[in-house]
């Protein structure tokens, strides 16, 4: 472990993959803890309370989703799932259990670093405003006045569109599953109506674009096919590399 930087717990049972991750992350000034099984991971998490967990879902002793559930019983520690292709149902289960994001294997390490920084920023509470307003790029949502503005222009949203945008803007830097959005905005009965959601998100993007967000509207919440929407945050929109 190096001396400075956030502490990450890397949970991966494949030795070569884990070692290369540890090497890369240590070089980026993270302090890295490692675990090769779910039992190890939970022990290490209990002993060290790291700032973020990178979690492979296919572990030899216990389903990674179960690790997420156990961590979430006690803590909001950010979790990024690292999962192999074809594990879409596991990814959704992991996100539903409380993971913040996922990255499909194989992934580019720079992309991993960008995701790590996004969820750490979010965990640091940088997106919350003292006045309760939610802001992302030029978009500002005022929950008390139930207003949405893009710059100076008011966007005319329906109550459902407003709720949808509110849930999305409350999850900056995270991946929100379709099921979660449907439940939050329409209720349990609509949890399977993902086509419905697609239509609403398209309409919401169009209204924000027309109110002045232009092509930036496409980047506010990016479709993650079959899973949900990845919400940008201020730094990812600006393309800032810090």
Q: How far is the CB of 5 from Ca ion (least distance, A)?
A: 26
Residues 6+ apart with CB under 8 A from 56: 11, 12, 13, 14, 17, 64, 81, 82, 83
We find the least distance from the C-beta atom of residue 175 to Ca ion, in angstroms, to be 20
| 166 contacts: CB under 8 Å, gap ≥ 6 | 134, 141, 143
Measured from the CB atom, the residue of 24 and 190 that comes closer to Ca ion is 24
Shortest approach of Ca ion to residue 56 CB, angstroms? Answer: 4
Query: Which residue is closest to Ca ion by CB?
Result: 58
In this structure, the number of other CB atoms found within 10 A of the CB of residue 156 comes to 10
- Report the residue number, 56 or 100, with the smaller CB distance to Ca ion: 56
Size of the site for Ca ion (CB under 5 A): 3
- For 12, the enclosing helix (H) or strand (E) is none
Which of residues 5 and 58 has its CB atom nearest to Ca ion in the complex?
58
Minimum distance of Ca ion from residue 20's CB (angstroms): 14
Instruction: Draw the binding track, 44-63, toward Ca ion (x: CB under 5 A; -: no contact).
Output: ------------x-x-----
Q: Give me the 65-104 binding string for Ca ion, x by CB under 5 A, dash otherwise.
A: ----------------------------------------
CB 10 within 8 A of CB 35: yes
Eight-class DSSP state of 62:
S
Upper half-sphere CA count for residue 177 (Cβ side, 13 Å)? 20
Minimum CB distance to Ca ion smaller for 17 or for 170: 17
Please report how close the Cβ of residue 70 comes to Ca ion at its closest, in angstroms: 18
User: Does residue 34 interact with Ca ion by CB under 5 A?
Assistant: no
Give the Cα-Cα-Cα angle 90, 114, 44 (nearest 5 degrees). Answer: 60
CA dihedral (68, 123, 92, 236) in degrees, to 10, reads -150
Measured from the CB atom, the residue of 35 and 211 that comes closer to Ca ion is 35
Residues 7-26 that bind Ca ion (CB under 5 A): 13
Report H helices in the chain: 15-27, 38-48, 64-74, 88-96, 109-123, 159-169, 178-185, 194-208, 217-220, 234-238
Nearer to Ca ion, 58 or 143 (CB): 58
Shortest spacing between CB 43 and Ca ion, in angstroms: 18
**Which residues would be at the binding site for Ca ion (CB under 5 A)?**
13, 56, 58
């Amino acid at each position: 472990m190096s001396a400075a930087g956030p502490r990450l717990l890397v949970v991966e049972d494949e030795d070569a993959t884990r070692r290369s991750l540890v090497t890369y992350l240590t070089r980026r000034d993270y302090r890295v803890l490692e675990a090769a099984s779910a039992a190890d991971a939970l022990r290490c998490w209990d002993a060290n309370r790291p700032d973020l967990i990178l979690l492979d879902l296919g572990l030899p002793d216990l389903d990674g989703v179960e690790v997420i559930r156990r961590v979430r019983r006690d803590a909001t520690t950010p979790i990024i799932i690292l999962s192999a292709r074809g594990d879409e149902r596991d990814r959704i289960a992991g996100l539903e259990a409380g993971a913040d994001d996922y990255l499909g294997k194989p992934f580019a390490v720079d992309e991993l670093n960008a995701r790590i920084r996004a969820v750490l920023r979010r965990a640091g509470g940088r997106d919350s405003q003292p006045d309760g307003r939610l802001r992302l790029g030029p978009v500002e949502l005022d929950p008390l006045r139930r207003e949405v503005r893009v710059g100076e222009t008011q966007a005319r949203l329906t109550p459902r569109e407003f709720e949808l945008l509110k849930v999305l803007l409350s999850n900056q830097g995270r991946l929100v599953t379709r099921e979660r959005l449907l439940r939050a905005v329409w209720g349990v009965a609509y949890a399977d109506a993902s086509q419905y959601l697609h239509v609403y998100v398209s309409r919401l993007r169009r209204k924000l674009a027309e109110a002045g967000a232009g092509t930036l509207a496409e980047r506010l919440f990016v479709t993650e096919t079959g899973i949900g929407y990845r919400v940008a945050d201020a730094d990812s929109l600006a393309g800032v590399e810090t």
